[in-house]
Structure 1
Amino acid sequence: MPTDLDIIKEQLSLLEGKMLSEEKRKSRLLRQVHEDQYQSAKNLIHYLVLRNEDRRDLQELLHVHGLSSLASSESHVHHQLQAIKQRLGFTYPKKEIAICSYVFGQMKMKEKSKLLFGSKTVTQIPSIMVTFDSGFASDRELIKSLLQNGMNVARINCAHDDETIWAEMIQNLKGACTETGLECKIYMDLAGPKIRTRLLGRGKRTGKAKIKEGQLIWFVDPGKEFNKREVVISPSEPDIINHLNVGDRVFIDDGIICGTVEKIKKNKAGIRIIRIYSKKQRIKAEKGINFPDTKLQIPSLTEFDKRCLPFICQHADLVGYSFVKTPADMVQLRSAIEGTAGKRPHIIIKIETLPSVENLPSLLLEGMKDAAFGVMIARGDLAVEIGFERMGEIQDEILWICEAAHIPVIWATQVLENLHKSGMATRSEITDAGHAAMAECIAINKGKHTIEVMNSLKDIIQRASSHRIKKRFTFRPLKIASRYFKYAD
């Protein structure tokens, strides 16, 4: 009868065989990535093989016998597997030992993070990205203070303001960098096809319309007839209604208003309001609309985005790509950048739709055709698209898969949001901020208390990082343990 160790040896050998077989099967795809990304791409394939089946029984056996359970091996999975087998008596010729070791993976992630986000003054915490608004165009002292408090990346959202304001922001930032001697990367977000509310009927004049649960509201195509006494919305993107089906869910204003498609008529659709998660029972103009069940044929790169690219390529170090769904979307942006004069900013793909989650490995492999690129977990739209209850699970999965590919991640949306707006943090967002330490960069929004947010963030993350590197826990001395041995009888 085979012993536990026999079972471990057999399962590890089978797993290694599957990794090498899949690596060979994907050899053509691997040859297409940038030479600096080749080992990282192989490690990604190996990790996907590891996570393709339930490994919990194997992990339990490994743990029982004091061996690595592969639980923190994302950055070097084949090398870790080989190390376990060597402990069990296997020998490998030197040339067969996987190049991608723990040290190699850490080095690659640091190299790519520095390329994207620049140097950090405090190495233990992620880079910090701060969102600029129009006020930054005239407030150099604020920008200097942000730099001195740890801002590494300035974010300009092309969905707001215009090139004149963007240029003033950038001029002020560069002046502040010169005066402080500190560097700061410039990240510019393409607006993308954000679908927003346009009120046509009741509420058009004031920009808001009262609603209640159970009410039927209407979506209509632009230029079509409608009843002015009803709540009528014309989505900002054309041809939405033709893709809707009865039963499709509709979320408005970051999921605060939930409804389903109940009726479809020519050029209009009736949406039944199911729930409103706010005391203010109203729909406002220019709020986002999400259709998680509807397959919309809307390009990720809009005509407005294309008009923004010359300015972005002239000034930005990083370009954020909104609502990416497939590798073909990345090919389109790369082609548009190559056809634009100026430098080539590094691409950051924003994961904010269900297709982008489902296609994440393919998106990473396409992105790895460049020497460096990054991923932003855009948790606002993503939570609405996949369901709030799945957000914790999915954001961890994105972090693990990106770690396997040595792709830097930006953790975004509502980081210490309550503190930023009111000056008082909630208990849950303190925990969330500690979790953000697993990313390479943290994006904070604009607000009244930006400096306080940055300082709180650094304090929270420095405390968290003393216990943990990524998701691998480290054993610094615990004060609880020290007190016990100092004061116990």
Structure 2
Amino acid sequence: MSRHTKIVVTLGPAVATAEAIDGLVVAGMDVARLNFSHGDHETHRKLATFVREAAVRNGRAVAILQDIQGPKIRVGTFPGGVIRLERGDQVSLVAGMGLGDAERIEIGYPRLIDDVGVGSEVVLADGLVRMKVTERFRDRLVAEVTEGGLVGDHRGAAFPKADLQVSAVTEKDKVDLAFGRELEVDFVAASFVRSAADVERVHRLSGAPVIAKIELAAAFENLDAILAVADGVMVARGDLGVEMPLEQLPSVQKEILRRTNAAGLISVTATEMLESMIHSTRPTRAEVTDVATAVVEGTDAVMLSGETAIGDFPIETVAMMDRILVEADRPRSNHQTIGFLAGQVAYASATARAAVEAATDLGLGTIVAFTESGNTARLLSKYRPGAAIMAFSPEERTRRRMAIYRGVIPVAFDRLDSTDAMFDFADRYLAEHGVCAAGEGVVIVAGTPPNRSASTNLMKLQIIGE
């Protein structure tokens, strides 16, 4: 059985060679993530070149996802690089990025005193340390530590439920997005968005499809508005788990995936999917179950972060993820139905739905889609068929972007001047590449007249070789 759920792989020092990235592509990488929180432009340019070259060598379509840093708020520095805070400690919080200590912590947010009030929770070091603001003065906040731990230089600071006046796009992000345009990245992941307006701003600056990272409580509260303007979402469980109680995270993940699928958009589940494989050749049983749960709940893709960027076994981790997903994608493991996009009544949506229903009713293993923009493949994907979707497109960028769609296998072909010629091409290709045997049935979706975007209006049941 072919794998339907896609694998997003974060690149970093552990895979910074052409040979390593070639290994990732062979192991199953569908999307390469460039994390602009780390590394310089020349490093990212080199990695992007390696990805494109490896994809060509291996006959694969691999997308590039640019993940911008966004307005991450961090603490300053400490003597020796780290401090220990104990429960009950009283700590002064001031705006700045200078040297602090266990009694006075500087936080890089200029409006700290204005926007964070008494009773607000302050979370440091990705949730390891928590405190509550007890007093507010003109030049500082005073907070009492409720959960102690270690805080190192430049660790993250979060303020759940506080209404911070921050821009979703920093000056650094603007420079990075311009560089992303130069690289012709296929997607941009927008970090720390709070509203639909934040997503729209990233899209205007990048020009690429935007995947909104849902990592703030405000983003979850505004999810429907964000879904109306985004091309997809990422369930960024790391920061999201800081913004809300950990025990709520599973139900929040399920709800985000449900609503994203209902909107017909891309969904990516991220953070600590196979975290133990940073230093181990095997994942934990809980991690395997976590991955499978995300698949059952409807994710299109899962993302590896530190496992591949800095891990000891990056290629082995991708290969393991591939094996887990093949099993999780089996029909018995997937309770999703094809009722997602009932509200979309355009010709392309209706044709895609009919194609999936036909393939399901007839037990066919392959759906063929001819597409200029990739929209037909996206619609077929969101109806979540058990069949593989062979998506033929003459556009290289379209093929790369389709690499993230669940169940879609992008294939290059030259434009043909009639639908009959397209049907004949599909018949020959499927037979010659061993996708289908003679006498096997397939569903073909196309548009007439051919070679036009948004023209999908035709479905055909075809027997290979006849």
Q: Give TM class, smaller chain.
A: 0.5 to 0.7
SS of residue in 2 equivalent to 1:234: strand
Number of aligned residues: 332
Pairing of 1:299-318 with structure 2 (within 5 A): 299-315=167-183, 316-318=185-187
Answer yes or no: is the 8 Å Cα contact 1:134–1:169 preserved in 2: no
Q: Tell me what 1:353 maps to.
A: 216
SS of residue in 2 equivalent to 1:298: coil
Q: Tell me what 2:108 maps to.
A: 236
- Among 301, 321, 345, the alignment partner of 1:457 is 321
Q: Distance in 2 between matches of 1:231 and 1:167?
A: 43
Q: Distance in 1 between matches of 2:194 and 2:251?
A: 20
Identity of counterpart residues, as a percentage? 29
Is 2:2 aligned against 1:128? Answer: no
- Among 300, 315, 326, the alignment partner of 1:440 is 300
- Among 165, 169, 191, the alignment partner of 1:297 is 165
What do residues 215-254 of structure 1 show as CA deviations (whole Å, max 9, x unaligned)? 1222112289x9x664422222321222111111111111
Q: CA deviation at 1:333?
A: 2.0
So what's the TM-score if we normalise by structure 2?
0.67
Q: Distance in 2 between matches of 1:301 and 1:355?
A: 16
SS of residue in 1 equivalent to 2:279: helix
Q: Distance in 2 between matches of 1:191 and 1:214?
A: 33
Q: Tell me what 2:205 maps to.
A: 336
Q: Distance in 2 between matches of 1:186 and 1:374?
A: 15
Answer yes or no: is the 8 Å Cα contact 1:134–1:161 preserved in 2: no
- Among 55, 73, 82, the alignment partner of 1:177 is 55
Answer yes or no: is the 8 Å Cα contact 2:84–2:102 preserved in 1: no
Pairing of 1:72-111 with structure 2 (within 5 A): none
In structure 2, list runs of 5 or more residues that go unmatched. 339-359, 361-466
Is 2:254 aligned against 1:396? Answer: yes
Matched AA of 2:197: A
Answer yes or no: is the 8 Å Cα contact 2:126–2:239 preserved in 1: yes
Runs of 4 or more above 6 Å deviation: none
Q: Distance in 2 between matches of 1:249 and 1:127?
A: 37
SS of residue in 1 equivalent to 2:229: helix
Q: CA deviation at 1:290?
A: 1.2
Q: Distance in 2 between matches of 1:263 and 1:425?
A: 45
Answer yes or no: is the 8 Å Cα contact 1:415–1:433 preserved in 2: yes
Q: Tell me what 1:320 maps to.
A: 189
Answer yes or no: is the 8 Å Cα contact 1:125–1:458 preserved in 2: no
Q: Tell me what 2:274 maps to.
A: 416
Q: CA deviation at 1:424?
A: 4.1
Relative to total residues, which structure has the larger strand share, 1 or 2? 2
Pairing of 1:7-26 with structure 2 (within 5 A): none
Q: Tell me what 1:72 maps to.
A: none
Answer yes or no: is the 8 Å Cα contact 2:233–2:268 preserved in 1: yes
SS of residue in 2 equivalent to 1:151: coil
The farther-off stretch of 458-467 and 154-163 is: 458-467
Relative to total residues, which structure has the larger helix share, 1 or 2? 1
Matched AA of 2:201: Q
Cα root mean square deviation, aligned: 2.3
Is 2:123 aligned against 1:251? Answer: yes
Q: CA deviation at 1:381?
A: 0.7
Answer yes or no: is the 8 Å Cα contact 1:252–1:290 preserved in 2: yes
Q: Distance in 1 between matches of 2:121 and 2:97?
A: 24
Matched AA of 1:317: D
Q: Distance in 1 between matches of 2:161 and 2:259?
A: 25
In structure 1, list runs of 5 or more residues that go unmatched. 1-121, 338-343, 368-372, 475-489
Matched AA of 2:80: T
> Residues 229 and 324 (structure 1 numbering): CA distance in 2 closer, same or farther, change over 3 Å?
closer
